[in-house]
Amino acid sequence: MTLSVFRAIHTAVSPHSLIFRRSRASFCCSVNRPSSSSSAVSATPVSTVRIPLFLREATGTATISELHAWRKWAQTLVSSVGSKFEDADNGPGPELLCREIRWMLEDVVEANLDVVNRLSDETAFGKDGDVVRLRAGLDELYCLWEERIEKRRPFQYLVGCDHWRDLVVCVQEGVLIPRPETEMIVDMVEEVVSRDKRLAEGIWADLGTGSGALGIGIARILRNGGKVVATDISEVAISVASFNVNRYGLQDKIELRQGSWFEPLEDVKGKLSGLVSNPPYIPSMNIAGLQAEVGQHEPRLALDGGKDGLDYLLHLCENSALALESGGFFAFETNGGSQSKFIADVMTNRSNFSFRDVKIVADLSGIQRFVTGFRQ
């Protein structure tokens, strides 16, 4: 995991809260700006995808002092909130919210880190009438920050992207914001494919791909010939994933298919070299208690795993033996603790001994987050 490039890391890692951090990649993104006539990888329309701030044309302008006034106003809103969000549901505190103000400016001000730095310099404010080019109008900036504070709209939805591993993936309402702990699945895949050329050149499936982050991360480490089939039941997720796949130029390596879990995988049944999934796993009764950013804004379809949170994990367990080829690898993300123990037990003892080397792997916070193993 490329922790060293992260500009800021928030404290506890929990999929029930949103962990905000960013990498320097926001300024040195090596991928191309998508063209309006992008060649879609599938028949899925990408027209419904909202272009994130950092990819927009800079058609607006503002003076440095206008931006300074916006920043001061945004900080005043943060001060008025204080630790209210933290106290209520472990939400973002003032320090993090202030960092988000800066990140928002970085995305909005056209390729000019110097301007953003000057905005942090108290002595530079109010004197500077220089005009800078913006990717959003000032009015929009005011509206966005109001939504952040008043509606607790997640920062990633405001700016339309999330910095995940070494990627910048576009996200919007209707699609889960990928979490840092899920990055570890790519690391685990990287390890197994580095040891087994056959796996590195095989077909992998990412079930419930959401923004496509996991599928894209895996596609980038497979060798020539290696492919990913990424599925999701949500049309918005498939559209957003398609946009992200195109942006990373991976149309030939990732095939997106809309449908429920294994349903779209009939043609590759028994042929998969790998199967990864971060399915919805939060017990239904816990959804109401989630951090407002998550519970009120992220799609329930991506969170709710049924009564015990195990509905989809068990479905994955039941169908993996038929989907994977001999020697194929699987990695599932869980809610941790008893959930991962239960899933590991199912894969070890209740699967007609179809799997070997079943392990529980902890995330970086020490939570027993993942269950991994191999098809016999």
Ligand X SMILES: C[S@@+](CC[C@H](N)C(=O)[O-])C[C@H]1O[C@@H](n2cnc3c(N)ncnc32)[C@H](O)[C@@H]1O
Q: Shortest gap between Cβ of 104 and ligand X (angstroms)?
A: 22
Q: Shortest gap between Cβ of 79 and ligand X (angstroms)?
A: 33
At 201, phi and psi to the nearest 5?
-110, 10
Q: Is 268 helix (H, G, I), strand (E, B) or coil?
A: helix
> Is 156 or 278 the residue whose CB approaches ligand X more closely?
278
Distance CA 97, CA 84 (A): 12
Q: Shortest gap between Cβ of 334 and ligand X (angstroms)?
A: 11
Exposure string of 145-171, with b = 16+ CB inside 10 Å and e = fewer, is beebbeebbbbbbbbbbbbbbebbbbb
How long a stretch of residues is the chain?
376
Q: Shortest gap between Cβ of 28 and ligand X (angstroms)?
A: 23
> Is 107 or 232 the residue whose CB approaches ligand X more closely?
232
The string of DSSP letters for 283-312 reads -GGGGGGS-HHHHTTS-HHHHB--TTS-HH
> Is 261 or 332 the residue whose CB approaches ligand X more closely?
261
> Is 64 or 238 the residue whose CB approaches ligand X more closely?
238
Interface contacts to ligand X, rule CB under 6 A = 176, 178, 182, 208-211, 213-214, 231-234, 237, 260-261, 278-280, 301-302
Is 371 in contact with 334 (CB distance < 8 Å)? yes
Q: Which two tokens stand for residue 336?
A: 């941790």
Q: Shortest gap between Cβ of 213 and ligand X (angstroms)?
A: 5
> Is 208 or 309 the residue whose CB approaches ligand X more closely?
208
> Is 110 or 166 the residue whose CB approaches ligand X more closely?
166
Calculated CA dihedral for residues 207, 277, 6, 38, nearest 10 degrees: -10
Q: Shortest gap between Cβ of 136 and ligand X (angstroms)?
A: 25
